[in-house]
Amino acid sequence: MKLYIGVTDNDWFRFLRARKPAPTEANFWQPSGSRDFRALQPGQPFLFKLHSPENYIAGGGFFAHFSILPFSLAWEVFGQANGTATIGEMRRRIEKYRHVKQSSHEDYPVGCILLTAPFFFDEKDWIPAPADFSRNIVSGKGYETDQGTGAALWAEVRQRLERIQVEERQPVAADDAVAATAELPLWAAYRDHLHFIDGPMHGDPTLVRPRLGQGTFRVVITDVYDRHCAVTGEKVLPVLEAAHIKPVADGGRHEIPNGLLLRSDLHRLFDRGYITVTPDYRLLVSRRLKDDFHNGEEYYQLKNRTIWLPSEQKRPHKELLEWHGDMVFKR
C-alpha cells in the first residue's frame, strides 16, 4: 500500500485546520492544471508536509479522485474547502503560483486532488519530514506503507488518528434520523480507512473506495460520464450537474452507482419526478409534465431514449433506478 507526502501551502493548511466544524472533504489544488496525479489509488493516504522552514507532516487526508477543473467550477463545487475564505483570495493564490503579473478574469485550469476525511494535527503532534524527503522536492513523494521509512511514518500517523477517534467520538442515537443521513463522522471515516489500509490480520489488505463528500461526488460523476449529459450529450460544463438517483435524505449515498450526470433542467425534472430512467436505461417522461405546465414538447421528444452509460462497473444500480421509478416518478 502507498502513501504520498504532498508539499503543502501553509496558509491553505492553517485555514482548513481552523474551520469549525471540521471539513469532511478538501481540494488540494495544483495551480498549473497541466499535470495528472497518479501516485495513489482511491482511499490511500495523502499527507501534508508544510513548506520550509516548518518541515513537518502536519496532517493529511485520503485520496478520492483527481480532476482538472476550471477555477470557477472548483470554487463553485468546494467553496472554502479549497482552503481560502473567498473566491478572490483563491484567485490571488493561484496567480501568485502561476507568476501572473496582473490579475485577470481568466478561468484558469486547476488540478484538483480531492481528499476525503482530512485531518489536522495539533502542532505538538507534528511529525518531522523523513530524512530522505529533499527540500528540493516541489510537489511530493510516495512511500510504501509496509517497508522502511513509509512503514515508520504510517505507524506514527496511525497512532495520532487513533487518538483522534478516542477524543472526538460522540455517541449517536440509533433512531436519530438526522444523524442517519448526515455526512460520516470523521472518527468513523478514520476508523474505516485505518481498517482497510492495514488490512485483515492475515492476507493482503483490500482496497475500497473512500466515502465521498458532496463536492467530490459531483466531480467524480462528471468525470465518470465523460463530462457530458447522459441524456442529451450536452458538454457545456457549467450546466452539467450530478443527480442522486436516491437522495441522501432518503438514505442514498454519494456513490457512483447512485449518480447520473444531467443537464441542469433535466436534473430538476428528475428530482421532481417528471422524468425517470428505467432499469434498462431508457428515459421516461411523465404525462404530468404537460398536465401541470401545459408545455414540455422538448422533453417528450426525449422519451424512450437510451441514455449514455459509463463502463459496466460504474453504471447506475438497477435497484436504485427502480426505487426512483416507484417512489419519485409521477405516473
DSSP letter string, 242-268? EEESS-GGGT--S-GGGEEEEEHHHHH
Judge whether 231 and 305 are in contact, CB under 8 Å: yes
Q: How far apart are alpha carbons 213 and 255 in whole angstroms? A: 9
Paired residues of 45 in beta bridges: 62
Going by C-alpha positions, the residue among 279, 286, 322 that lies closest to residue 302 is 286
Q: What is the pLDDT of residue 86?
A: 97
- The answer as to whether 149 is a domain residue is yes
Same domain, 231 and 174: no
Q: What's the total number of domains in the chain? A: 2
Element (H, E) at 125: none
In 10 A of CB 26, how many CB atoms?
30
Helix, strand or coil for residue 111? strand
Same domain, 181 and 234: no
Q: What is the pLDDT of residue 168?
A: 61
Q: What is the pLDDT of residue 196?
A: 53
Mean pLDDT (the chain, rounded): 88
Same domain, 6 and 154: yes
Domain end residue (candidates: 152, 180, 198): 198
Q: How far apart are alpha carbons 263 and 240 in whole angstroms? A: 5
Judge whether 28 and 46 are in contact, CB under 8 Å: yes
- The CATH number of the domain holding residue 145 is 2.30.130.30
Same domain, 234 and 304: yes
Q: How far apart are alpha carbons 252 and 284 in whole angstroms? A: 21
Same domain, 104 and 230: no
Q: What is the pLDDT of residue 189?
A: 60
- The answer as to whether 214 is a domain residue is no
Residue bearing cell 501551502: 9
Q: What are the grid coordinates assigned to 225, written together?
A: 460520464
- The answer as to whether 130 is a domain residue is yes
For residue 74, pLDDT beyond 70: yes
Same domain, 26 and 100: yes
Classify strands 109-120 and 56-70 as parallel, antiparallel or unpaired. antiparallel
Same domain, 187 and 240: no
Same domain, 89 and 170: yes
Same domain, 110 and 12: yes
Mean pLDDT of 57-70: 96
Q: How far apart are alpha carbons 13 and 59 in whole angstroms? A: 9
- The answer as to whether 212 is a domain residue is no
Give me the helices (H) in the chain, please: 10-18, 71-78, 87-97, 148-168, 177-181, 186-198, 214-224, 264-271, 288-293, 297-300, 318-327
Helix, strand or coil for residue 272? coil
How sure is the predictor about 29, in pLDDT bands with cuts at 50, 70 and 90? very high
Q: What is the pLDDT of residue 184?
A: 46
Same domain, 14 and 161: yes
- The answer as to whether 319 is a domain residue is yes
Q: What are the grid coordinates assigned to 130, written together?
A: 523523513
- Indicate the DSSP class of residue 241: E
Domain end residue (candidates: 198, 216, 242): 198
Element (H, E) at 99: none
Same domain, 232 and 138: no
- The answer as to whether 247 is a domain residue is yes
Same domain, 139 and 268: no
- The answer as to whether 115 is a domain residue is yes
Phi, psi (5° rounding) for residue 46?
A: -120, 120
Q: What are the grid coordinates assigned to 296, written together?
A: 414540455
- Which DSSP string corresponds to 217-237? HHHHHHHHTTTS-TTT----G
Judge whether 115 and 22 are in contact, CB under 8 Å: no
The pLDDT tens digits for 78-129 are 999 999 999 999 999 999 988 887 777 889 999 999 999 999 999 999 999 9
Mean pLDDT of 265-270: 98
- The answer as to whether 207 is a domain residue is no
The pLDDT tens digits for 143-197 are 999 999 999 999 999 999 888 776 665 544 444 433 333 344 555 565 666 555 5
Mean pLDDT of 252-270: 97
- Structural domain containing residue 166: 2-198
Q: What is the pLDDT of residue 103?
A: 74
